[in-house]
């Protein structure tokens, strides 16, 4: 018997990386999972792989920055399953570089995906979860919300905003049985290049990495707490990663 038998979850950015790892952890514990992302081909392949063992995993192509597409994602989920127990706002974008060289296109891309996306998803989830008497929302943040990396102004700003959104929604949700939390990853294997360079192109040198399975296990723990409990914030990073005092 799975820890999430009978539960329904939406995982954005579920076609790869952390989102796919979380979707697998949920599906392996009996949860029906809806994965959403813009890349329909990769999303369908992930759904087929995750459901090959008998789990219920469906894919709904969605641009999380589109109000209409996000509303459609939640409507289709409700049509299919009639409820929503967990939302994981995982879709993310990274861009950066010296601040004087950043364009509005770079800035808006990161803010739209990383901040507007979780807002739109959480708004739809609140509308459902208030009526059904509760639920959980897990926002995927980053250790950048506490300790920024060099030349990462858009990303760092967005993850500070995700943590602020999480706290605000946790306050709004607690009277309605809605637990809202943030999971902050450190360096995850799918998010780092093999040569150790960050997405800004700055050579950070080789760094230790954790797996998407580590993130999936943590998200599962957060999702399976008793309804009266909430893990408001979790930071998961490689033991050897420079975090405290990193520059």
H or E element, residue 216: helix 212-223
Q: Which one of 26, 74, 126, 155 is the catalytic residue? A: 155
**Strands of the 233-236 sheet, one edge to the other:** 57-61, 32-37, 8-12, 86-89, 135-140, 178-185, 233-236
C-alpha to C-alpha distance for 24 and 154, rounded to whole angstroms: 30
Of 148, 165, 159, give the one whose Cα is nearest residue 87.
165
Closest by Cα among 145, 156, 172 to 230: 172
Q: Residue 134 CB: number of other CB atoms within 10 A? A: 14
Answer whether 89's CB lies under 8 Å from 138's CB.
yes
Is-catalytic flag, 155? yes
Q: Give the integer Cα–Cα distance in Å for 50 and 154.
A: 33
User: What residues have CB less than 8 Å from 59, skipping those under 6 apart?
Assistant: 14, 15, 34, 35, 36, 40, 43, 44, 46, 47
Spatial CA neighbour of 155 closest among 120, 189, 184: 184
Contacts (Cβ under 8 Å, ≥6 apart) of 30: 1, 2, 3, 4, 5, 6, 7, 55
HSE-CB at 130 with a 13 A cutoff on CA atoms is 11
Residue with tokens 């946790």: 170
The catalytic site residues sit at 155
């Amino acid at each position: 018997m799975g820890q999430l038998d009978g539960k329904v979850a939406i995982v954005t950015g579920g076609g790869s990386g952390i989102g796919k790892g979380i979707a697998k952890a949920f599906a392996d514990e009996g949860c029906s999972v809806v994965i959403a992302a813009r890349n329909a081909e990769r999303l369908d392949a992930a759904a087929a792989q995750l459901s090959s063992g008998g789990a219920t995993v469906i894919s709904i192509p969605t641009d999380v920055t589109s109000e209409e597409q996000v509303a459609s994602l939640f409507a289709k989920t409700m049509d299919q399953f009639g409820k929503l127990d967990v939302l994981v706002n995982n879709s993310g974008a990274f861009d950066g570089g010296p601040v004087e060289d950043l364009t509005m296109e770079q800035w808006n891309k990161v803010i739209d995906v990383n901040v507007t996306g979780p807002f739109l998803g959480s708004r739809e989830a609140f509308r459902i979860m208030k009526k059904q008497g509760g639920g959980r929302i897990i926002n995927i943040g980053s250790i950048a919300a506490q300790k920024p990396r060099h030349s990462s102004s858009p990303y760092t700003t967005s993850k500070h905003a995700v943590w602020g959104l999480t706290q605000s929604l946790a306050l709004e949700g607690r009277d309605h049985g809605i637990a809202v939390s943030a999971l902050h990853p450190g360096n995850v294997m799918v998010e780092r290049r093999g040569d150790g360079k960050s997405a800004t192109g700055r050579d950070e040198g080789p760094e230790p990495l954790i797996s998407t399975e580590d993130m999936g296990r943590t998200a599962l723990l957060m999702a399976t707490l008793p309804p009266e409990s909430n893990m408001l914030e979790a930071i998961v990073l490689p033991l050897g990663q420079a975090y405290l005092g990193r520059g």
